[in-house]
Amino acid sequence: MSAVAPGRWVKLAVLLPLRNVRGTALGFAIAGLTCGCAGSPGPAATSKPSTLKVVSLGNSGKVRGTPAPAQPGKNVPAIKVDTVGYEASWTKVVIFNVEPKNAVVKDVRSGQVVLRIDAGRVKARGLDAASKDPVWQVDITDVRTPGTYTIVADGAESDPFKVGERMYDQAIAAGLKSFYFQRTRTALLAPYATWEGKSYIRKTASHVHGDVGWDLLDYPEKKRKWKVEGGWFDAGNFDMYVPSTAPAAESLLAAYEWAPEHFKDKQLNIPESGNGIPDLLDEARWGLVWVLSLQEGGGAFRAREAMIEWSPEGPADEDKTVRWIAGVSTSATAKAVAALAQAARLYEKFDAVFSARCAKAAKSGWKFLLAHPNHIRATVVGGGAQPLWDDEPENNDVGARFMAAVEMWRTYRDKDALAHIEAAMSLPELTDLKKIIRGAWENLSRWGLGELAMDKGTPAPLRAEAKKRILAMAEDMRPQVEQNDGYRCASQVDDYYWGSNSNLMEKAHILAMAARLAPEKGWILEAARDQWHWILGRNPNGYSMVTRVGKGPTRLYHMEWGPYEPPPPGFLIDGPNATALGFLAPGAPAKALLWDNQEPTRTGLPPHSLWHWRQSDLWDGEFLSEDEWGKGWWCVTEPDILYSGNFVLAGTSVL
């Protein structure tokens, strides 16, 4: 969602980064920067400015850097596996980038060969279009005994992987725990702010200072003030948006509703653990209370709590930037209504008071939507970086309103909601399979269709039509998984754009819904699980795309957690992005992610670091001109709460 047109230069007055003697960034000062990227693609602010000069924001059109992406057998394994492992009873396919000569599976502990890979287990798939890797798919399903294994062949070896039961419990718990590390209005302290022996401490509550909550409609004056509570940071910056927070919370609620038996109290080691409520619901509540605090008396919801400037790098409790509450948005209102109506249903048996609060807010918001059928868009006020999400000119609120109607129907059997659903079923956002499959955060209709298809109280014709569309989407993805992509990935060559990993998890969930609706079609569940394996390491980059899960990213683009190695757990990163950083792997969009720097960087990274988050690494590699900020690592290694929510939901649904 960049405000800068491709190929254009934008001249800006920006304060240069402050550095120590090793060249490591200490912070930044900034003036007048405007860019609409979803993350934090600009220098962060400090109170100690250095030299003011004009720098470039945008695409210089000339890339001099030398690409060094994932290269099988050189900087990543030539045998790709799910780096978390495989359920003992599941089909187990691994990917070779070299011919599987003399290939065997070995038990790591004993060194014994447990499976010899003969020709009958191998499918040669030729050159994979998205990665330009030669690919052989190898079936090792017969390895069912719990243990840790590696696969070796002439000149190649895989990462270790496990086979066993409940292999993904910790991965899903990590995804949930990432939300705790995105909380604001709280300190993050021991014993909760830890993961597998590593601590991630925030000493005091963040964003409770006196300049939080000013009404943006009064800008630049500070007249009216909102009292906000709870909430999660959206991504690697400190901004917060209802259009991402509400569906992120809803994704967690959907995971709970899909398999409530998987989510228990005392599961996540969070401050609420032990209160008798599943930790997932406690965490979702932290996001929901912030959404509730942005509702006007007439039912509408404000769109975001954000700043005009960029988020500063450093602990969130040290950020004293003025935070503004943006205007009303029907997209934000509809997404809030959907999440709160669902919450009213699910929290009722755990916390009747909170359930009633959610119900009151959802009904009031729904009434507002009925009275205002046209899209009301939040706007940019005061300049600066203010992404509008659903309210960008090219987007609409159709999918958001559809989800609000679905949840109002499911929870209250509201007749107006049912009428809205039936009318919306003929709109392109619900008839065009590609629009649904690639719906991302804007068009959440995939969730609504799945819920209607599984809801026994929905009229039979509507339920049947919803099921038909879910199954049609699965069939649409089948050739890509089974025939076209060597790694059995549902993403097509042109799907490696911003948030490609999250969209892949959305596809996995669509496939899982189809599998539940048509269990006799076993290929669908296998296809859903293929996407899960891809995200956990069986991909061209040879890494899990989730921090602290399997062999995951060692660095993360994040204002608070970026300096921590390893990063906090459970963050699903953007993923390969050929649209923005295609120069990292020209012609191989699935690899537009890693850079194998041949020399140390000015930030002190050693050669062959692969994972990056500092902008100056791109300058050192000569991919961008010095001081250019139009593109950056936030396009590939930044997390987002919606990404993590999709990861948790997908993982729960493929089990």
Supply the pLDDT for residue 311: 83
Question: pTM for the whole thing?
Answer: 0.92
Judge whether residue 147 has pLDDT over 80.
yes
| Spatial CB neighbours of 36, under 8 Å, sequence gap ≥ 6 | 1, 2, 3, 4, 385, 386, 387
Is 93 among the domain residues? yes
Is 488 among the domain residues? no
Q: Is 103 helix (H, G, I), strand (E, B) or coil?
A: coil
The predicted-structure confidence for 230-289, as pLDDT tens digits, reads as follows 999 999 999 999 999 999 999 999 999 999 999 999 999 999 999 999 999 999 999 999
Residues 361 and 242 in one domain: yes
The predicted-structure confidence for 19-39, as pLDDT tens digits, reads as follows 232 233 333 333 333 333 444
The predicted-structure confidence for 503-545, as pLDDT tens digits, reads as follows 999 999 999 999 999 999 999 999 999 999 999 999 999 999 9
Supply the pLDDT for residue 383: 79
Is 469 among the domain residues? no
Is 564 among the domain residues? no
Domain that includes residue 35, residue range: 1-62
Q: How many domains does the chain have?
A: 3
Q: Predicted confidence band at 467 (pLDDT cuts at 50, 70, 90)? A: very high
Judge whether residue 15 has pLDDT over 90.
no
Residues 358 and 215 in one domain: yes
Last residue of a domain, one of 392, 410, 441: 392
**Bridge partners, residue 116, by sequence:** 104
Is 526 among the domain residues? no
Supply the pLDDT for residue 229: 98
Is 614 among the domain residues? no
Mean pLDDT calculated for residue range 180-192: 98
Last residue of a domain, one of 96, 129, 164: 164
Is 631 among the domain residues? no
The predicted-structure confidence for 91-133, as pLDDT tens digits, reads as follows 999 999 999 999 999 999 999 999 999 999 999 999 999 999 9
Residue 296's domain is classified under what CATH number? 1.50.10.10
242 in Cβ contact with 291 (< 8 Å): yes
**Bridge partners, residue 546, by sequence:** 572
Residues 349 and 225 in one domain: yes
150 in Cβ contact with 106 (< 8 Å): yes
Q: b/e per residue, 572-586, with b = 16+ CB within 10 A?
A: bbbbbbbbbbbbbbe
117 in Cβ contact with 138 (< 8 Å): yes
Q: Predicted confidence band at 585 (pLDDT cuts at 50, 70, 90)? A: very high
Instruction: Count CB neighbours of 512 within 10 A.
Output: 27
Residues 381 and 298 in one domain: yes
Residues 123 and 186 in one domain: no
Phi, psi of 421 (to 5 degrees): -60, -50
Q: Is the dihedral of CA 274, 267, 499, 591 positive or negative?
A: positive
Judge whether residue 54 has pLDDT over 90.
no
Q: Predicted confidence band at 62 (pLDDT cuts at 50, 70, 90)? A: low
Question: Backbone dihedral region of 424: left (phi > 0), alpha (psi from -120 to 50 degrees) or beta?
Answer: alpha
Cα separation, 598 vs 416, whole angstroms: 62
Residues 36 and 103 in one domain: no
Residues 122 and 212 in one domain: no
139 in Cβ contact with 96 (< 8 Å): no
In whole angstroms, what separates CA 168 from the centre of its chain? Answer: 18
The predicted-structure confidence for 334-365, as pLDDT tens digits, reads as follows 999 999 999 999 999 999 999 999 999 999 99
The predicted-structure confidence for 275-309, as pLDDT tens digits, reads as follows 999 999 999 999 999 999 999 999 999 999 998 87
Supply the pLDDT for residue 44: 36
Q: Where are the beta strands (DSSP E) in 22-84?
A: 25-27, 52-58, 79-80
Where helices occur in 480-570 by DSSP H, the ranges are: 500-517, 522-535
Q: Is 87 helix (H, G, I), strand (E, B) or coil?
A: strand
Residue 103's domain is classified under what CATH number? 2.60.40.10
Judge whether residue 209 has pLDDT over 60.
yes
Is 99 among the domain residues? yes
The predicted-structure confidence for 593-626, as pLDDT tens digits, reads as follows 999 999 999 999 999 999 999 999 999 999 999 9
Residues 225 and 363 in one domain: yes
The predicted-structure confidence for 634-644, as pLDDT tens digits, reads as follows 999 999 999 99
Residues 246 and 159 in one domain: no
Q: Mean pLDDT score of the chain, rounded to an integer?
A: 91
pLDDT > 90: percent of the chain: 87
Judge whether residue 573 has pLDDT over 60.
yes
Residues 95 and 239 in one domain: no
With 0-12 / 13-18 / 19 or more C-beta atoms within 10 angstroms meaning exposed / middle / buried, residue 203 is exposed
Mean pLDDT calculated for residue range 154-169: 97
Residues 384 and 309 in one domain: yes
**Bridge partners, residue 183, by sequence:** 232
Residues 88 and 57 in one domain: no
